[in-house]
Amino acid sequence: MINRGKRSVLGVLVDAVDYEGAVERIIEAARHHRPFAVSALAVHGVMTGVLDPIHRHRLNALDLVVPDGQPVRWALNRLYGAELADRVYGPTLMLKTCQRAAEEQLPVFLFGGTQALLDRLAERLVARFPALRIAGVHPSKFRRLVPEERDETVARIHQSGAALVFVGLGCPRQEVWAYEFRAALSRPVLAVGAAFNFHAGLLSQAPPRLQKWGLEWFYRLLAEPRRLWRRYLLLNPLYASLLCLQLCGLRHFDPASTRPPAEELLYG
């Protein structure tokens, strides 16, 4: 098990951790009903924090940020000698957490997406882990919430008896959600993005070899070019350029250089 704490990647704090270390921390928090916000960041997720000091504040306040993308893992290994043999891929982290939750009888809650997506996801998760209890599901409203709706969401999750919550709203909305709901929910909140669509069978994952080579972005770009071309063709080169500057010591990225949000966004 590897759990070497947080390290700065372009000013965004990412945990040098492996699957075992990440799942253990999540389950421990679930057992003790402790607030614990988690995100899995690839290059795009890191760059949302690099380019926005307010969002960087949110990301750096999360309890656990795992290296979802190979380029993020490579950065941890090159900059800090983390010796991570693999990334901590959000969809895989979700499955490993579900397996442990089933073994320890910790109910889970699914938040985000459409009702049809959640129904299909819940069905497939239980088929894969028969002992897993789905305490409840809540589809996204695909807009900002008013405070009363936020309170209703918190109450619904509490009343469900869920020990942990998976959130699939897409980056960066799901990280905002994890940041803002963390304290009110008092249980682990895992922002896992496309994992909902992957595990519901609605979106195909890149072949393992492309994932290993850090080319999952290319596979997704081919699948959704209109939606993703700006994300990958602009942000990936910028990430590589800035990382070279950090690696060579030509630029310092201060994780404390952030700005707290002036108001809640209350995505839902």
Least confident of 115-124, 198-207, 238-247: 198-207
111 belongs to a structural domain: yes
Q: Is residue 266 domain-resident?
A: no
pTM confidence score: 0.93
Spatial distance between the Cα atoms of 191 and 201, rounded to a whole number of angstroms: 19
pLDDT of residue 262: 86
pLDDT tops 80 at residue 99: yes
Counted domains in the chain: 1
Q: Which helix (H) or strand (E) holds 137?
A: strand 134-138
pLDDT digits (tens, 9 = 90+) for 31-49: 999 999 999 999 999 999 9
Domain assignment present for 100: yes
110 within 8 A of 134, measured Cβ to Cβ:
yes
Q: Does position 172 have pLDDT exceeding 90, yes or no?
A: yes
What residue numbers bound the domain in which 41 lies? 3-194
- Is 207 part of a structural domain of the chain? no
178 is a domain residue: yes
Q: Is residue 118, in this structure, part of any structural domain at all?
A: yes
The answer to whether residue 255 scores a pLDDT higher than 80 is yes
Whether residue 139 lies inside any domain: the answer is yes
Q: Do the domain assignments include residue 102?
A: yes
Phi and psi dihedrals of 165, rounded to 5? -125, 130
Q: Is the pLDDT of residue 225 over 80?
A: no
Confidence class for position 29, pLDDT limits 50, 70, 90:
very high
* Burial of 203 from C-beta contacts in 10 A (0-12 / 13-18 / 19+): middle
213-239 mean pLDDT: 75
